[in-house]
Chains A and B, each alone.
Chain A
């Protein structure tokens, strides 16, 4: 019995870029799930033309809520991983706040197996820090890790008990697991639905002060320093919070941090419209916070962009601002949004943005940096930076077909994402002109 020849693919006229720089235009050859080389020629099974587009390693998201199991009306693995691929992502770390919670190795194994069958973006599940996210008892990290979990986190629910946090970090450090924290002090944030400040007071909406985040970030950084665990601070939203991280990093705390696309592009002024779509945790802050986060990104203080893609049904978001759930979908618009707002305007170099989507998150996890080198996994995405198109949530692969940026005209839309050399996403051309 003969072994079939491994499938061979070429992306022609690819403008090759990654965080290390611009590698010029060439034909990129992929074979059997890995990068074969450039300009090789020869017979191929699949052929794409990327003229005018950027070709770069597919992105890595350390923070997405894919909602399966239990929240399939909001999102499931198929829709969530398809959405990720549509956003140019090749790998996604899914959060554990599902129903049931991902605190059982069997659930981790089932998620990994199902994702492999889907053949979309790669899934790397996070598991719960505490059993049932209840904040009382440590989950079984070793067993969860064996089943495929790559991170532990109670994301969505801050860990209130500092002793539990300490012990979780000690266990995780022993296993080499990253501990991700949703750092907000619940007793200080109270029932806040938005950033506490001039807008919340004027609009009469309960506020959540930036200090609720900064205080908890400081605790988590201190515990990281104390235990030596790799603590990753999720979705930093405020100047105060970021300054605490900068200070703690300077003190040698083994912490990393991420910011989200929405905290880099929206501020609390959006609440004038009273639209619960903008209700996220932590909240959209003041313009000065947004400016500080962008500056922190530019200065290299931030390790990764984490989307905190948090889909909900439209009906859940059609509630009043107090009852509506926290979170918004963004994984499909993350790159074009940040490219258009920050790179195309000259605020950030393209290399910095790519670093935060590729090498940055990989280093947070202790993974190999994704590159276009020969022999690396054939996880690549093609980004159309020439054609501008508006955000059209109706066409989202995500089940959450609404967007805070609806109608905003962006450049840099992914047109093709290959994962292990297979097509995980290909944009169907919109109506011919």
Chain B
């Protein structure tokens, strides 16, 4: 598969501003940090959750608990795919019961990952609230799912791909748009 770069959507500063805004909104809507938890979806949702937690700590003085969620065992396409996804550990080191959980991920696309993440979380207990934060919403939903916090809305075509790079995983911060196939 060949990817042809089309546009740079966010740089390091823009990503930082978007996450700061989301952190403020979460605190505001949650009326503080009580029982607040941030759970990142593997892979890039994890540093996003950690960064938002750091930001909240900076303005509120209290760091919400964080967790990592691997949704592989909840994917709805495991009977169809040709390549086996590696299953990773889920690390949610707190009891989810009664918590206000914000699921964090890099890109919201079809909504299937969010659906799987919701099921995975619910199987761990009964949170009071689950909300959803994403760095980029690119549209094309296949399930009735929406994000509560969005860093940037990006209209895309289905033939395009959004790649999010984060320092912790990729060594740099950037969001870019690519076209599948094509090329000059």
Report A-B touching, CB under 8 Å: no
Query: What residues make up the interface of B, taking CB atoms closer than 8 Å to A?
Result: none
Query: What residues make up the interface of A, taking CB atoms closer than 8 Å to B?
Result: none
